[in-house]
A and B are shown apart, each in its own frame.
Chain A
Amino acid sequence: MFVQILINGLVLAGGYALVAVGLTLTFGVMRMVNFAEGQSVMIGAFVAYTCVPYVGYVGAIAAAMAVNAVLGIILERTAFRPFRGVELNGLIASMGMSIVLVNVAELVWGTTPRPFDTLYNDTSVTIGTVGISVQRLICVVVSGAILTGLWWLVAYTSLGRKFRAVSEDHETASAMGIDVNQVSRLALVIGSMMAASAGALAGPVNMIAPDMGRTEMLNAFAAIILGGFGNVNGTILGALLIGLIQSIAAVYISNAYSTSIAFALLVVTLIFFPRGLVPERVDENV
């Protein structure tokens, strides 16, 4: 039972973390919240679903990431660049894009939820006394690997340094010769690709449907707030907490309230830590 809950929690947490880290990266670099991120997850899941019969599961994940990279560029052009400095409008624009994406997906794939079967759904391995499907293990391992990769990218590469410089101070970074537009675009592309991997990995565990982006995004938001906006490590921590608590709550309390539980936890946390568990540094000018 314990192993089962732990693995389920980690599967959830992995998906949330991939989405949330993408969001947090975009937020850190552009100071804007991407309300269309959930739809990137959904598009990723559907592209992978469509490609699986032709190129296999690994190829499908790659295809989903490629499609979403393009989607990231489109999003940056339509919903982010025109609204730099006008946060609220950017927020609403990404909501507009989100409506557009959901409806395009519904036109292409229909509205009914469908199962996304891969080879690994039906095979399982036994750990202790319980059988765990290989798909779930893949979810945990691959999302862990991608997150580690991102952490390395942000901490040690020159692109990562640019990300951090721009999120620290937009104008100074620009004065030092960093192309802020290019860095923003890359942040969105990477965020979008991570969302695609989240969709392709977690899709087979649940059903996929054009409205799946909603819950994905809400849980990711909860993780981000817990961890502190713009903070990659804190966000991963937040995602772990939310995932584990939800999987425990699903067993011992009720499945129907799982999103509520995440958000109730969030509201309680915010009462005591108004800037999240790992606060971001904000200077208030007098």
Chain B
Amino acid sequence: MRTFKTLLVIAGAAVILALPLSFGLFWINMVITALIFSLVVFSINLLTGLTGLLSFGQAGFVGIGAYTLGVLAKQGNPPLLAGLYGVLLAMACGFLLGLPAARLKGHYLAIGTLGFGILIYQLLTNSVDITRGPMGLLGIPTGGIDKQTWYLITLGVCLAVLAALAYVDRYSIVGVVLKMVRHDEIAARASGINVFAVKLIAFTVSAGLAGLSGALFAAYVRFLTPDLFNEQESFRYMMMAVVGGIGSPLGGVIASLMLTTIPEGLRILGEDNLRLLVYGTMVLFVLWFLPSGIGGLLERRRR
């Protein structure tokens, strides 16, 4: 009986996951972008949800990943290699930011990382000879893949990261260490955990995830402007993470799907501002009535 139920769940999940393949271009596009965004949400789940560190500079890492791929691929490097460089550069920046940031706490950390994000945004905007600044980086040579394949790629990456996070969270000693640092730094230190190193690693890996999202975004959309990576975007990722439930990557995917597709669906309202108005109000309503986000709702169902 139990195996039957598991089979049923797996079959249901497969149907839901395959469903977007039959969508029209507009919606499949939306789902792909949402999946790419949810990688950033995962990076926040890891950093804030597991390790208890706040970052309002995630869009900076996304920007680093995206622009590295864009610039290198346009110079003729193979896109996969360029993407790898993007992720590595984002990780290196995450490490460098982590050096001072791992010593900061709470609001100081939030604003310090916000500062990093702004620094990256202004660098992208002002170093016109490399990034073309506000004129935008056009025609990144990663075309030729159809939307269905893109959907499968992004879905695969998301599921892999989701599984890895769930594994770290539930079964691995790493998860225990991360959560210990979040709950009680002093106790963690007393148990022989190098808190600084743990935080540094969390920053680096989370930056890598955000960079990966950026690289995928650049390869998929093939057009970049610095405005896609300003601090407003960092806030938006944070909103997705909180609406999804900060410790719940699965909730994060659902939130990023919701917060990407619903505002787009609201384009029928015509006016751009009305759309964003609904978006803001929606976030408020979720916070009022579901304080632990969509993840909390899923958790309650499970019990």
Contacts and interface: CB of A to CB of B under 8 A. Distances in A.
A275 B243 CA distance: 30
Contact of A267 (B54, B100, B186): B100
A82 B289 CA distance: 10
A100 B111 CA distance: 22
A5 B268 CA distance: 50
B284 A221 contact: no
A264 B119 contact: yes
A96 B126 CA distance: 29
Nearest to B125: A256
Given A97-B280, A257-B122, A103 B287 contact: no
Contact of A33 (B103, B107, B122, B274): B107
Contact of B114 (A102, A104, A221, A256): A221
Contacts of B271: 107
B276 A99 contact: yes
Contacts of B246: 88
A99 B108 contact: no
Interface residues of B, number: 42
Interface in B241-279: 242-243, 246, 271, 273-274, 276-277, 279
A95 B235 contact: yes
Interface in A18-65: 27, 33, 35
Interface residues of A, number: 46
Nearest to B276: A103
Contacts of A225: 108, 111-112
Interface of A: 27, 33, 35, 78-79, 82-83, 86, 88-89, 91-93, 95-100, 102-104, 106-107, 214, 218, 221-222, 224-225, 229, 256-257, 259-260, 263-264, 266-267, 270-271, 274-276, 284, 286
Interface of B: 48, 54, 100, 103-105, 107-108, 110-112, 114-116, 118-119, 122-123, 125-126, 186, 231-232, 235, 238-239, 242-243, 246, 271, 273-274, 276-277, 279-281, 283-284, 287-288, 291
Top-6 shortest CB links A-B = A99-B280, A263-B115, A96-B283, A100-B280, A103-B273, A260-B122
8 contacts: A33-B107, A78-B284, A95-B238, A103-B276, A225-B111, A225-B112, A264-B115, A267-B112
